Structure 1
Amino acid sequence: MTVQPQRSENERADSDIGFVLAEPTLRDGPELWRMARESEVLDVNSPYSYTLWCRDFGATSIVARDREDPERHDAGRACGFVSGYLRPDAPDTLFVWQVAVDRDRRGRGLARLMLDGLAERLVPRGARALEATVTPGNTASAALFGSFARDHGAELTRTPLFGPDLLPGGHDPETLFRIGPLGRA
């Protein structure tokens, strides 16, 4: 007899690829910071900010953990995340702030699985659009959001949002990707 581990209502197992999706907890904060730092493409914030994010925006974010496996030393460890929040002036819009996947877990569709899992959780709660910013050279994010829009039957619009005049220090401009409406029958 195989016993399945108990999962909270905020966790979902994906047995096909071996990950558990859940709302992040305080203990995930340092792991989110690590993944952002190791991505070598994300703007890295302080460890404090990632831990605070897990506390204040856990309900609008998602973390992927390796499924429990007694032969793996890192079973249950966070290996991907999507951080997001509902915009205060547009509470039906989920803004995706960062998406990261551990280097050795990339290429398995984990980023898309997390984005779908987050939408699955938030659309029934009233989210009707998803926004994210993408720099011009970030083809992986552009492809991720493009496939998400296509597969959800939603329109994707791209508009310049932040130019170099607003992002000092040589930061690339950011283009707003807006996907919606979500949750159409």
Structure 2
Amino acid sequence: MTAAPADLFIDRPAPADGAALWRLAKDSKTLDLNSSYSYLLWCRDFAGTSAVARDEDGRPVGFVTGYVRPERPRTLLVWQVAVDPAHRGRGIAAALLDGLTARLAAERGITGVETTITPGNTASERLFSSFAARHGADLTREVLFPADLFPDGPHDPEVLHRIGPLTRIPAH
């Protein structure tokens, strides 16, 4: 499991974090930016399946949002991962993902992770490939949503990355 840098701690998000998560997503320049309202709701309704990295002053500097799939209750779908540009390259995204999956394995018995990544997003490809390797899991890919399904203009396809079963999950 990847440990968070010593000057940060990983926590569950709260509604008061919604604006900061929206800004982190906006500043990522790669994520589809949702409405600020959706981040407020996410921090309220899906805090249990999400995580935030906080600096020494308690400010969010990274997050991972996710939910447990209703049809696959042992699978975490990771919606978004973002880290403040000033804090990138420190292993924060990996620590968030490892910490969240360890917590959800203990609390909900998850054994798999899914996410979608657009072609060319090499940072996300590396994050999830290394996650699969750390956890002794297979990684498969298939197009989940082809580009022509998106009604709001040009959009790359979303490729589903399915990781599991997770065989090495440290205790949370």
TM over 0.5: yes
Give the fraction of aligned pairs with identical amino acids, expressed as a percent.
59
Hey, what does 1:111 align to over in structure 2? 93
The 5 A counterparts of 1:21-170 are: 21-67=10-56, 75-124=57-106, 125-168=108-151, 169-170=153-154
Compute the RMSD of aligned alpha carbons.
1.4
Of structures 1 and 2, the one scoring higher in RCO (CA 8 A, sep 6+) is 2
For 2:130, give the aligned amino acid.
S
Q: Is residue 2:164 matched to residue 1:175?
A: no
Structure 2 distance, partners of 1:184, 1:111, is 18
Structure 2 distance, partners of 1:88, 1:120, is 19
Give, in angstroms, the shift of residue 18 of structure 1. Answer: 1.3
Structure 1 distance, partners of 2:168, 2:65, is 24
Q: Which runs of 5+ in 2 are unaligned?
A: none
Give, in angstroms, the shift of residue 17 of structure 1. Answer: 3.4
Instruction: Point out the structure with max Rg over C-alpha.
Output: 1
Aligned length: 165
Q: Would you say the 8 A contact 2:134–2:168 is kept in 1?
A: no
For 2:44, give the aligned amino acid.
R
Which stretch shifts more, 136-145 or 175-184? 175-184
Structure 1 distance, partners of 2:18, 2:33, is 13
TM-score, scaled to structure 2: 0.92
For 1:173, give the aligned amino acid.
P
Structure 2 distance, partners of 1:43, 1:184, is 31
Moved over 6 A (4+): none
